[in-house]
């Protein structure tokens, strides 16, 4: 049983590390695009950067399928 726990602990640790690295990379990408949308000199490049930022920051406004108003 302890071997299974050791393997699971290692897997969870690696998953947490990967999740943290992915979150950091996403944050850096959003910050870079946000800075680009303000700092670029060309109006076309600023518009492109703002459009990209809109895509990156888009939220899913649709309700989840697994939760309905009746469940709440």
Nearest-angstrom CA–CA distance, 20 and 49: 25
pTM above 0.75, yes or no: no
Q: Which residues of 6-45 are buried (b: 16+ CB within 10 A; e: fewer)?
A: eeeeeeeeeeeeeeeeeeeeeeeeeeebbebbeeeeeeee
pLDDT in tens, 22-63: 999 999 998 998 888 888 888 888 888 888 888 888 776 655
- Contact residues for 53 (Cβ-Cβ < 8 A; gap 6+): 30, 33, 34, 37
pLDDT number for residue 51: 86
């Amino acid at each position: 049983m302890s071997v299974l726990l050791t393997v699971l602990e290692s897997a969870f640790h690696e998953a947490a590390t990967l999740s943290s690295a992915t979150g950091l990379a996403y944050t850096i990408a959003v910050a870079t695009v946000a800075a680009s949308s303000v700092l670029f000199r060309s109006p076309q490049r600023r518009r492109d950067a703002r459009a990209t930022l809109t895509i990156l920051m888009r939220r899913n406004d649709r309700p989840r399928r697994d939760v309905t108003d009746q469940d709440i």
